[in-house]
Structures are given as structure tokens and as C-alpha cells.
Structure 1
Amino acid sequence: MSRLILILVCLMCASVALAAGTPGEKGADSRPAGGLKDVYFGEALYHAYQGEWFEAVARLDTELGQHRRVDEPALDALYPHLNQAEFDVGDFELGYRMHLRAGRAIRAVIEGKVDEPQRNAASYRLARLYFQKDQPREALQAVERIHGKVPERIRDDVEFLRAQVLMANGRFEDASRVLKDLQGAKSLEGFAGYNLGIALMQQGKEQDGRQYLDRAGQLASAAPSSQAIRDKSNLVLGYKLLDENNGTGAKLVLDRVRLTGPFSNRALLGSGWADANQGQFERALVPWSILAQREVTDPAVQEALLAMPFAYGKLKVYGKAALLYGQALESFGKEIDKLGASITSVQDGKFLKALAREELKQDSDWVVKLRSLPDAPETYYLLDLMASHDFQESLKNYLDLNELSAKLVAWEGDLNAFEEMIKQRRNYYQPLLPEIDEAFKQLDSQIRLRQEQCDRIEKRLHAMLTAPRPDHLATAQERIALEEISRLEHAAGGALPDDVKERLARLRGAISWNIATQYHQRLTDTYEDLDHLNRETDRLKRQYDSFMRTRQAATQSYEGYDEAIASERTRIASAREKVTALLPRQGKILEAMAVDEMTKRRARLEQFQVTARFAIADSYDRANKAQAQKRVGE
């Protein structure tokens, strides 16, 4: 029942979902031509649009496998969507990060008999796959396959990917030409300008590159993605100016970055150093003071805790500087203790248990909420760890393995339920079959009798069309009467009186006359009777076919499943064995990456501690000297 409800939901949602494009692909068009005709394909799309890639791949793989086994594929509901389904399965596998299988599926589409737009769209996906796997040469080969007509909805994305691939291969001049043509693309607003600025600077065209970065840093769009690229453009340009000791320009650019964006901490830190480079330490304290109030786990905040007393020292407020150095030293000590506890917690396996909490995964911001877990101190630094691509991939792999392990357990339980269902069906149908088979034998004999009658009558009627035989159309009473006349004549042996002979001859003549004169009418009536008999025979055949289908459906509902279930049980057991072996290994990799990152952070904080201790001593010395000079002056 739940599957039926899901299919009905799929049918209601398909028209809305399909209008949005291919899952996981910005702007691609996966709308089936002529509307959705296969509900199971729609079910796979439904799961894909929820981001449930595993369910989408499993269902579409199953549907494609069943389609390939049917005797007449053209009659299958999936046939009109076959090219799209084979195309989408690669996308779903790509969404689930099954890069190897996704690449094979997409290449199969490219090499198959598909139209040019679809082939170009597949080449684009293949290029994007290689680019995500950090294989720029293979990505370039795939991009160079794209020629001719490209689907309108991905045209700008194709060219933007082409530019990114060219940059990854060091061809910055070629990438610049492509990116200049994309400056007017609304969907790539800011992104094309930012990448063009980077490409130009890589060519040594510093001034031109900075102009494009500056332009990208002044976008007026309210879209979150545009605001993010605007902040990043300003951050990159600001730090470049800062490296060149251009504090005024760096300050102007860095102050454009939003105070609530993901780049705000680094921007506030850079803004303060821009003021400090110009000797304006009072102004530098403003952004640093804001930054110092933020989450102390962020490296920019930790640096600001040292920068603030440094500024006060430059302003000769040595007492305040010493006090702030002391607070920074205390804060660093607490963070070092947290990191130590986090490392121990990770090594004890608590980190992996925190990641596997199902209640957190119900929310899209579950990673952020991990920071507030009181029994998982290692999660304080999780967001920074998640910034690493390698860590993200390892984390996703671990979560997928964890989820797959749960699915395998559930599937094994499903097999037990299937076996119980089959047992119940067998216990219900088997006692009924003997009685049904007996009724079937009677029905079969009736069909054979009626079929033989039809064949015999039809042959005689066909022969009578060329050689009329009125005697064949005599009624039963006429046949009995003629046989009785013949019997009386034979019994008398010619000793009948003349009047009796005359009466018998007259009677035979009357019967023969009726048969001869009514021949055409009787022939017509016989054809009508044959038609009725044929209809009756057809009714019996339909009843026979219905019985065969019902009996076959009944027996097939419990026969022939044992081998399939045993095979699936073996496959599940094998998969569980692999997952059981891989899950702790992947967890160890994740833990090792977390411990390594936290160890580096702890070492950095320990260095900050050393700096803070020396700075405290220096600040106290300067404060004492200043007080001594003040007393001497008095």
C-alpha cells in the first residue's frame, strides 16, 4: 500500500518536478518528451528530486534491468523514456558519487544513437565529472567533444565549465576569451567576472585582472550566490593589495565584505591590518574588536586576540595591552585543552557517533548543530574541518556506508517478510488447486467438443457451397421419420399393401420436398447457428484463458522465488561483509584527518601562547618603564 501511495504521489508531482531540470544539474532539461508514461521512472525521479540518490539509482537500475529482459521492449512503458532514463542514471550515480559507474553510463549515451543536443549534454556531464575528480586533461578532452547544438538551458554552464577546465590546464589566455563572452550571462553574474580576473592575473595582466575582480566585488545582486562571490572577490583583491602594502586600497575593498558572510572574519582581520599598515592603530581596533567577540575556534579570531594588544602596545597603552595578552593567553589555553579533549574524544570514537545521529540529519544545518552537542567537544572545530574537500568526501563516504549498513539490515528483514508472504500464499492456494483443476478438465473437454463440432460443421458448409447437399440440412425429426420409413420398408420385405406403400412414398416425398425447397433458408439458419456456436466457443476460450492467467498468477505468486531470494540473501550477506570491513576503515581515515587537523591547530595555538607570553613580559616592562619615566618627570 505504501508503494502505491508513493507512486500516486510521483504521478502528481512529476509534472512539477520534471519542469525543474535534471536533478543535481543546474539548468539541464530532463522533461520526458510527450509526458511521463512510466510510473516507476517517475518514482526514481521523485527520489532524485529529494536528493535521495541511492533510492533513485536503485529504482532506476531495477527498472532498466527489467526493461532489458522483456520480449517486446517497444511495448514497455519505459521505452519512450529509454534514452532519458539511461542518461539520468548516470546523473543519479554522479549525485551519489559513483563516479566510475556514472562515467560509464554517460559514455554509453555519448557513443549511442542519440541526437546532437543530448550527446553534447552528456559530454558536458562527463567533463564535469572529470573536473570534479581533479582530472583536468580528461575533462578537456570531454569538453572538446562538444560541438554544434547545445541545449539552451545549459549553454552558459557548458562555456563556464570550458573556461574552468582551460584554467585548470594552464590555458589562461583561452579561458579569458571564453569568460569575456560570458560577462553578460545573468546566471553566472559575478562568477564569470571573478574567474576572468584570476585568469588575467595569471597571465601577468595585473591591472586588467584587478578591474574585473573589483567589478565582481561591487555586484548589486541580492542572490546569496552572487553575494558570496562578491565577498570572495573583495577578499582576494583586498589581501592582494595588502600584500603590496597598499593599505588604503585594501581597506576600501575589504570593507565591502558583509559582516555576516562566510568571509567576514578574514575580511575584518585584513581590514584591521590595512589600518595598522598605515599606522592607524586606533582604527584597526574597530574591526579587530568586532572580530574578537566571535567564535574563538576560528583562526582569524585567534589572530585578532593577539592583534588587539599589539595595537594597544603601538598606542603605548601598555597596561591594556598586557591585560589583553593575558586574556588571549587564557583563551588559547582553554582552546588547547578543548583540542586535547577533542583529540581524545575522536580517538575514543565519540566523533563518529556524533556524526551518525539521525535526529541531526533531519535538518539541512545538522553539521552546524553538531557544535552545540555537550558530549562531543571535537565538534567545536567541525565546520573548519568541513572546509577541506578531502574531509568532506571522506565524511560523505562514511555516512553513506553507515546508511548502507542500515539498509542492508532492513533488506535482510524484508527478505524474511517476503518468505513469510510466499508461505502464506502457498498455504492458501495449494488446497484450492485440486478442485479448480478438476473443474478445468471439464471446461477443457467442453471446449474440445465444441471445437470439433465447429470444425465439422464448417467443413460441410464450405463443401455445400460448391456441391449442394440438402439431406445434410434435414432436421432431427425429419431424419428420424426417414429412418423409420426405411425400417418399415425393410421389415416388411416388400409385402406391404399397396395403399401403405403409397402412403409411405407420399410421406417420404413430402419430407424430401420440404428439405429441397427449404434448403437455402436452412443453409442461412445453419450459418447463423454456426456463428452462435463460434461465439459460445469464444466464450469458453476466454474463460479458459482467464483461468490459465489466474492459475498462473496464483502459482507464480509463491513458486520460483526460493532461488531468487537465496541469491539476494547471499548478495546482501556479501555486501554486509564488505561494509562491515570498510566502515571502521573509513572511520579511522576520518578520525585520522580530524586528529591531524586538530593537532596542527593545537601546535598553532601553542605558538600563539609563546608569542603572548613574550608579549606580556614586554608589555609589563614597557608599562613599568613608562610609569618610572612619569614619576621622574613629576
Structure 2
Amino acid sequence: MLSRIVCLLGIGFMTSSVAADSPSGELKDLFFGEALYYAGQGEYFDAIARLDAELGQHYGLDDPDLDSFYFHVNQAEFSVGDFELSYRMHLRAGRAVEAVLEGNVDEAIRNEAAYRLARIYFQKDQPLNALHALERIRGRVPDRIWDDLAFLRAQVYMATGRFAEAAEILEPLERADGYAGFAAYNRGIALLQDGEQAAGTRALDQAGQVRGTQRGTLAIRDKANLVLGSKLLDDEEPVAAKQFLERVRLQGPFSGRALLGSGWADASARRYERALVPWSILAKRNVTDESVQEALLAVPYAYGKLGVYGKAALGYGSALEAFGGEIDKLDRSIKSIREGKFLEALVREELKQDKNWMVKLRSLPEAPETYYLMQLMASHDFQASLKNYLDLEELRKRLVVWEKDLEAYEDLIAVRRAYYEPLLPDIDAQFRRLDSRMRLRMEQRDRLDERLQAMLISPRPEFLATAEERVISERISIIEKQLKHTRASEEMRHRIRRLKGIIHWRIHTEYDQRLTEAHKHLRELDGIVEELQSQYDSFVRTRQAATQSYQGYETAIRQQRTRVRNTLQPVQNLMARQGHMLETMAVNELERRRTRLEEFQIKARFAMADSYDRATKAQADKEAKALEEAARARASSEAEERLEEGGEAPEESPGTSGAK
């Protein structure tokens, strides 16, 4: 428990947003820190539940200013929106941020709320609403979101067709930490969309050479080079395209498309031998990749252009065999999806423990369909649907566990009832005797007890300060007044603050102990009354704890069980609909790939037949040429023999050279 509290405190001290909301920069409410802890673990459901409960309790207080949560209430409103957005609760997230935006808050807080609302709208694919939210930003903007706000504004401008303004915003971001490659890439796209071909090409070239070793930086660099190379290839500039395509890493996520494009760049320049190099490398990779499938046709195509028709025919034959095998696998995968195995693979608990769990799906032997769906599963639409399905599955499991927990509570309550009910009659009889004795003594100590009871209701720690503590506090106050008119060192001021803190700490932390000693003195004055009072209080607590431990829970448990069951059925219905949607998307993707492979099969068959014809014709021509050369050699040999015998060489018949 102590380690968890330390962890929560660490989160509070390290979170800049908490520091911005709290004047001292410290976490003053552990429940808020607990919500941040769960959010940091990606458990947004638990974070939202705890933060919602804390906010509800805070606003229900008569005097919320005295609550420790008061110091973080603004940040909590922001955090609710962030957590709900991360949990894809866009409607609630928007309402939470709107509440802050319309409230009487500081200008910086209002601008941050407008930024977050714009981000919500943009993630919901509502760029116009995001633009309206950004237009509400006026005045001071917190430094921590300055770059994020600029990048979001540029994205919104690009989504609304204002490419020139987006490019202008992105240019200074190229020098910002964490945005160098991303800003240059987006600026290049914006310039190209705005018709500035030269400037856009330069920006993409710059993004394609950005330095860095982080995965995101490497990926955006590869993507920039691939986009630029593909564009130049479409513009029929193969030589220029190839230099950008060759910058793409061979082991990166874009390497397949880059190798394929590099080969086509050489093929466009009729350099088929060079085209074979990247295509041959690509053809040896996993055949499920669409680029690899195209490379299986491109390699024999290049051999055909080089006149090696036999090898081209063999290549087309190998491609046909590979395509046929993949089509069979796709058929089995589609059948597996329709049997529900795909959804079973997606909800595996052991896979979710790894951030790369989606890649590990490819190694599941009982779920072959996941091997072909990596591109689909990486898409935004599929990921959003998948996350919704996983959240529903998690909620379903929680509801099942909660229903079982209610049964456990009922068993626990039954055990408590069986234990306490036989004991209560005797306890009540003893209490009545104790109460009669109490009434005889209470009048003798009412006045003194009234003062102490007042301190129990309204604690006043300073009233219990010792004489020595009061003298020291007065001396410290005098010293502080004197220091206001002198140039005291920071060390001295720190020592004074430390002394004040020690006195304050001692008075407040020892308050319970001092109050207990006061009660002890009261018991010394009237020991009998104090003993009876102690027994009375002990009985009241015990009696209440005994009865409250098993009474009054039946209705609450019944209501909670009804709520759980009423919620479980809609969750299961939604899961069925969401799962059907995922299966439909997966089947459509597999059928698209199967259709594509069938088209490749048709092309490969025709190309293989053509290659065999050409190879046969070439072989026939070669044999005919060999026979012609042999006939000429034989005729020449006969002529030489006749000359040696002294005769004349016969005239060559016109048809001799063409004889077979």
C-alpha cells in the first residue's frame, strides 16, 4: 500500500498539468492521483470511474473549498475529457471540455480547453467544428501546448483545403522538438496540394533526410521518400524517383512498396537487369504481402523483356503455384472468420500484455486469417471498431465478475447475521444497565465535558499548544517582522520557515494525543463516569457495527444485480453487432485480396503461355539455325573434297541454304 501511495505521489509531482493547477505544484488529493495512475497504465475505464465519483462528491459538498480536491478541480475537468477521449467517449469528452470553456476561468485555461475541444472534433473527423473551436482561442496560450496547438491548426487547415496557410504554420515547426520530420512531411503534402510542386518536393526531400533514431522519425522519413519517389514515378521521371526510393530502409514498414517502385523505375528506363535486383529481393519475402505478390509477376516480366523466355515461363509457373496456395489459405481464413475464430483470437488476454500483440496474431496457428489482415488491422477505421469491441468485451467480463461478487457479498452477510443475531439480546440487556448508571454521574461532569466535546466537533489544535510552543511562536513572529526590514540570507529565512513548520506539524499531529490526555485528566476527576462513558461508546460502536454489517444490504444488492443484468444484455447485443462488423470488414478485405490474386492468376497464365510460345519459337529458331549451319558446313566439306580430287565444285542450289 505504501509503495502505491508513493507511486501516486510521484505521478502528481511529475505531471506538469497537476503542477499548473496546484499553486505549490504538489498533489494534494490522493484520489485524483489514483485516477492519474490508472490513466498512466492505460486503464481509462477505471480512471474515468474514479474521477467521476470524486467530482460528484466534490460538487455535492456544502463547502467544497475545504476539500483537498478543490486544488485540482480544473485539471480534473480537463482530465475527464482527456480520459473519455482516450476511451473514445467523444460526446461526453466534448461536453466536459465545453463546460470548462463556458465557465468563468482563466484565459490560459479557456484557451487550453478550446484546443482540447478542437482536438476532439478533429479526431471525430469534423474539421469544420475543430476550426470553429480554434477560432475561439484568444490571448495567452500555455507553453506546454504551443507546438501541439500549431500542429493541430495546420492539420485542420489541410483538412479544410487551406493548404497555403497550413504550410506557413508548419515551416517554423520543423525546428521544434518532436515535430521536425512530421512538420516537413505535412508541409510538403500541403504545398503539393496547393500546386507548389517545386517547394513541396523540397519539403518532402527535407523530410526524407531528417536525422533521428526513433521509430517514428525513421518511419516518417521512409514515408516521405516513398511518397516523393512514387510521385516522380507517376510523373514519368524514373531516374529521379529511384534515388528517393533507394533511401527507404530495407527493413522498414514501407520497404516492400519502395523495392517494387525502385524496380519499376528501372523498368521504365528499360534497364530490366537492374530492375531484377530489387524485385528479386522482394519476391523472396512473405507472399502474403501485396507488394511481394506483384513482384512475383514482375520478376518473370523482366526476364521476358530480356529474352529469357524459359526462365520467365518458370517464374510465372512459380507465381501461379504461390497464388493458388494463397487463394486456398484465404478461403480457409474466410471460413475461419465466419466460424468466429477471428474474434476469439482478438480477445486473447496473453496477447494484450504486449504492445506488439497485433503482430503476434500472425503466429497463431488456429487463426490463419490474422496473417493476411495486418494492413487492415493497422487502418484507423478497423482500429476504432476493434477498440470498441475490446472495450465491450472488457465491460462484459467486468459485469460477469460483478455479478459473482454480489453472490459473495450475500454469503458474507449471511455468515455475519448467523453470528451476531444470537448475541444481541444479551448485549442489549447489559447496555440498559450501563445506561442507568451513566445517568447518575453525567451531571457532575457536564460543564467540563461540554468544552471538550466542542473541541471534538470543531477541532482547534492551537488551543492545545503548550506554553513553550506559544512562546517560541511569538519569538518567531517577532524575528519575521524584523527580517522584513533587513537583508537576511535565504538560509536564515529557510530556517525560520522550517521552525514554523515544525511547530505547526507538532501542534497538528499531536492534537489527537493531547486531546486524549485531556480526556484522561477528565477521567481522573471522575473515573467512574469516564469508565462508563468508555463502555457506552464502545457498545454503541460495536452495536452499530454489528447490525450495519448485515442489515440493509438486501435492497441495494438486489438493485445492483438488476442493473448488472440489465446492462449485460445490451453489452452482449452490441458485442454481437460490433463483432459482425469486424468480421464483415475482415471478410471483405480477404475477398478483395482473393479477387486480386485471381486477377494475377489470369495474367500469369496468359503470360506463362506467351512465354512458353516464345521460348518454343526461340528454341525452334535456334534449332533451325543450327541445322542450316550444319548443312552449309556439310556442303562446304563436300566441295573441298571434290576440289582435292581435281573436280569442280558444283553450283550451290538456291534451296540448299534453307534446307532443314
The TM-score by the shorter chain falls in which range? Answer: 0.7 to 0.9
- Partner residue in 2 for 1:412: 403
- Partner residue in 1 for 2:364: 373
**Do 1:360 and 1:366's aligned partners in 2 also have CA atoms closer than 8 Å?**
yes
User: Which residue identity is paired with 1:10?
Assistant: R
1:253 to 241, 244, 250: 244
Q: How does 1:33-52 map to 2 (within 5 A)?
A: 34=24, 35-52=26-43
* Seq. identity, %: 62
1:627 to 619, 642, 651: 619
Name the SS for the 1:563 alignment partner.
Answer: helix
**Do 2:188 and 2:202's aligned partners in 1 also have CA atoms closer than 8 Å?**
yes
Name the SS for the 1:58 alignment partner.
Answer: helix
- Partner residue in 1 for 2:602: 610
User: Which residue identity is paired with 1:361?
Assistant: K
- Partner residue in 1 for 2:157: 166
- Partner residue in 2 for 1:301: 292
**Do 1:18 and 1:30's aligned partners in 2 also have CA atoms closer than 8 Å?**
no
Q: 1:29 to 1:320 in 2, by over 3 A?
A: farther
Shift of 1:10: 3.0
- Partner residue in 2 for 1:566: 558
- Partner residue in 1 for 2:640: none
Shift of 1:219: 0.9
- Partner residue in 1 for 2:570: 578
Name the SS for the 1:190 alignment partner.
Answer: helix
Shift of 1:375: 1.8
Shift of 1:590: 1.0
User: Which residue identity is paired with 2:622?
Assistant: K
1:12 to 6, 9, 21: 6
Instruction: Note the aligned Cα RMSD (angstroms).
Output: 2.7
Name the SS for the 1:262 alignment partner.
Answer: coil
How far apart, CA to CA, are the structure 1 residues paired with 2:59 and 2:18?
A: 26
**Do 2:81 and 2:93's aligned partners in 1 also have CA atoms closer than 8 Å?**
yes
How far apart, CA to CA, are the structure 1 residues paired with 2:419 and 2:73?
A: 39
Q: 1:70 to 1:412 in 2, by over 3 A?
A: farther
Name the SS for the 1:78 alignment partner.
Answer: helix
Q: 1:596 to 1:531 in 2, by over 3 A?
A: closer
Determine if the alignment matches structure 1 residue 227 to structure 2 residue 218. Answer: yes
How far apart, CA to CA, are the structure 2 residues paired with 1:134 and 1:126?
A: 13
Unaligned runs of 5+ in 2: 450-520, 627-660
2:313 to 322, 329, 339: 322
Name the SS for the 2:373 alignment partner.
Answer: helix
Q: 1:173 to 1:158 in 2, by over 3 A?
A: same
- Partner residue in 2 for 1:345: 336
How far apart, CA to CA, are the structure 1 residues paired with 2:395 and 2:424?
A: 42
- Partner residue in 2 for 1:426: 417
Shift of 1:48: 1.2
User: Which residue identity is paired with 2:308?
Assistant: V
Alignment deviations for residues 349-406 of structure 1 (CA, whole Å, 9 cap, x no partner)? 1211222222222222222121122222211212122132222222222222222111
Shift of 1:95: 1.3
User: Which residue identity is paired with 2:593?
Assistant: R
Alignment deviations for residues 509-568 of structure 1 (CA, whole Å, 9 cap, x no partner)? xxxxxxxxxxxxxxxxxxxx9998689878866765565455444433333322222221
Q: 1:454 to 1:615 in 2, by over 3 A?
A: closer
1:289 to 280, 283, 289: 280
Determine if the alignment matches structure 1 residue 110 to structure 2 residue 110. Answer: no
User: Which residue identity is paired with 1:583?
Assistant: M
Alignment deviations for residues 175-219 of structure 1 (CA, whole Å, 9 cap, x no partner)? 122112312111211111111111111111111111111001001
How far apart, CA to CA, are the structure 2 residues paired with 1:393 and 1:172?
A: 28
**Do 2:8 and 2:30's aligned partners in 1 also have CA atoms closer than 8 Å?**
no
- Partner residue in 2 for 1:65: 56
Q: 1:28 to 1:299 in 2, by over 3 A?
A: farther
How far apart, CA to CA, are the structure 1 residues paired with 2:446 and 2:292?
A: 99
- Partner residue in 2 for 1:239: 230
Q: Give the total of aligned pairs.
A: 554
Alignment deviations for residues 476-498 of structure 1 (CA, whole Å, 9 cap, x no partner)? xxxxxxxxxxxxxxxxxxxxxxx
Name the SS for the 1:239 alignment partner.
Answer: helix
**Do 2:13 and 2:27's aligned partners in 1 also have CA atoms closer than 8 Å?**
no
Name the SS for the 1:245 alignment partner.
Answer: coil
- Range moving further from structure 2, 81-90 or 575-584: 81-90
Name the SS for the 2:161 alignment partner.
Answer: coil
User: Which residue identity is paired with 1:12?
Assistant: V
Shift of 1:32: 5.5
Shift of 1:613: 0.7
User: Which residue identity is paired with 2:5?
Assistant: L
How far apart, CA to CA, are the structure 2 residues paired with 1:249 and 1:536?
A: 102
**Do 2:523 and 2:531's aligned partners in 1 also have CA atoms closer than 8 Å?**
no
TM-score scaled by length of structure 2: 0.78
TM-score scaled by length of structure 1: 0.81
Shift of 1:451: 4.2
- Partner residue in 1 for 2:352: 361
Shift of 1:610: 0.6
- Partner residue in 1 for 2:393: 402
Determine if the alignment matches structure 1 residue 598 to structure 2 residue 590. Answer: yes
Q: Greater Rg, structure 1 or structure 2?
A: 1
**Do 1:10 and 1:46's aligned partners in 2 also have CA atoms closer than 8 Å?**
no
User: Which residue identity is paired with 2:612?
Assistant: Y
Name the SS for the 1:170 alignment partner.
Answer: coil
Name the SS for the 1:266 alignment partner.
Answer: helix
- Range moving further from structure 2, 446-455 or 362-371: 446-455
**Do 2:523 and 2:529's aligned partners in 1 also have CA atoms closer than 8 Å?**
no
**Do 1:231 and 1:258's aligned partners in 2 also have CA atoms closer than 8 Å?**
yes
User: Which residue identity is paired with 1:188?
Assistant: Y
- Partner residue in 2 for 1:481: none
User: Which residue identity is paired with 1:13?
Assistant: C
- Range moving further from structure 2, 431-440 or 54-63: 431-440
User: Which residue identity is paired with 2:578?
Assistant: Q
Q: How does 1:504-543 map to 2 (within 5 A)?
A: none
**Do 1:275 and 1:281's aligned partners in 2 also have CA atoms closer than 8 Å?**
yes
Shift of 1:601: 0.8
- Partner residue in 2 for 1:503: none
How far apart, CA to CA, are the structure 2 residues paired with 1:326 and 1:105?
A: 62
Name the SS for the 1:37 alignment partner.
Answer: coil
Q: 1:36 to 1:242 in 2, by over 3 A?
A: same
How far apart, CA to CA, are the structure 1 residues paired with 2:561 and 2:227?
A: 55
How far apart, CA to CA, are the structure 2 residues paired with 1:457 and 1:50?
A: 54
Q: 1:291 to 1:580 in 2, by over 3 A?
A: same
Shift of 1:594: 0.9
How far apart, CA to CA, are the structure 1 residues paired with 2:531 and 2:181?
A: 73
Unaligned runs of 5+ in 1: 459-528
- Partner residue in 1 for 2:256: 265
- Range moving further from structure 2, 539-548 or 338-347: 539-548
Name the SS for the 2:407 alignment partner.
Answer: helix
Alignment deviations for residues 404-424 of structure 1 (CA, whole Å, 9 cap, x no partner)? 111110010111122222333
